[in-house]
Amino acid sequence: MISTNIEKAVTLLNENEVVAIPTETVYGLAANAYNEDAVKKIFEIKKRPLFNPLIVHIKSASTINEVAKDIPEIAYKLIDAFWPGPLTLILNKQAHISDVVTAGKQTVAIRMPNHPIALDLLQKLDFPLAAPSANPFSTISPTSAAHVAHYFNEELSLILDGGECQKGLESTIVGFENNEAVLYRYGAISTEEIEKIIGSIKIKNNNEHQPDAPGMLSKHYSPKTETYLTNNVEQLIKSFPNKKIGVLTYKNKIANNNICYQEILSHNEDLNEAAQNLYASLHRLDCKNLDLIITERLPENGLGITINDRLQRAISKN
């Protein structure tokens, strides 16, 4: 099931099947964005609610008009700066884009991925790919082919192996309201980087019932194990005597006999490294048969904001 055979992926996608593909952010469940039946299979496999829209992946910036229309000038500034890469834009959709893809909205989420295998695959297809993360709805996102296989051992004919994801966090999502840029999801491009290109941006990253973009629901990216987020890991450990505890910290190892297993995101205090390691660390913790996982809040700057956003949505309790 795990393979590097791109031609096999092309064949399956042309047959309107779903294939797991690598990107620089996380692995995705991909299908022909122009075929409604193929797109519906994604929702069925993920058990994803139909009100939650998908991202359409395109082969080049020059093909954006095949999917979107009325593209504002500010969007082209972001495209020039960040494509190919982990930036998704919410734009007015072309009429032939199915309402299943867009959750009934007149806008569509689009990005051009920056992964050699994903781009090679897209070049071999006559259609873009709708592709949310390759995990059951609300669970930890996958950053390796093995993570996808763990989730979908029976459901998928092919997982295209592209190694471990370089970014390790989903794309940043930006839309436009009244000709002003709006950030709908924190992602692998920091808000500071976006603002260097277009100036200040409005933050609107929560919508529980009619999300404008993926990743806006309060419960998301969650381990099966009960999970907590705190500024003080050692203090919170004291609240759980006689429990099997796993710990996720930013840079420092914590010496405590109640800790059964610990993951450190970056010994070098590097937020990019921490981002790349986040989901893999959570996967390992979630497989250790622990009573609970305690995660440490990171500094609220750069990608620390994105990581904290993911941890906040992953937790069982505040």
Q: Within 13 Å, how many C-alpha atoms sit on residue 291's CB side?
A: 11
pLDDT in tens, 63-112: 999 999 999 999 999 999 999 999 999 999 999 999 999 999 999 999 99
Task: Give start-end residues of each CATH 3.90.870.10 domain in the chain.
Answer: 2-203
Q: Which amino acid is residue 103, in one-letter code?
A: A
CATH of 227-314, one of 3.40.50.10490, 3.40.50.11890, 3.20.20.140, 3.40.50.11030: 3.40.50.11030
- Name the pLDDT band for 206 (thresholds 50, 70, 90): confident
Return the CATH fold of 2-203.
DHBP synthase (3.90.870)
What's the whole-model pTM score? 0.96
278-316 pLDDT, tens digit per residue, is 999 999 999 999 999 999 999 999 999 999 999 999 985
For CATH 3.40.50.11030, the residue range(s) in the chain are 227-314
Distance CA 100, CA 37 (A): 9
Mean pLDDT of 142-155: 96
pLDDT for residue 318:
44
Which residues lie closer than 8 Å to 177 by C-beta, 6 or more apart? 202
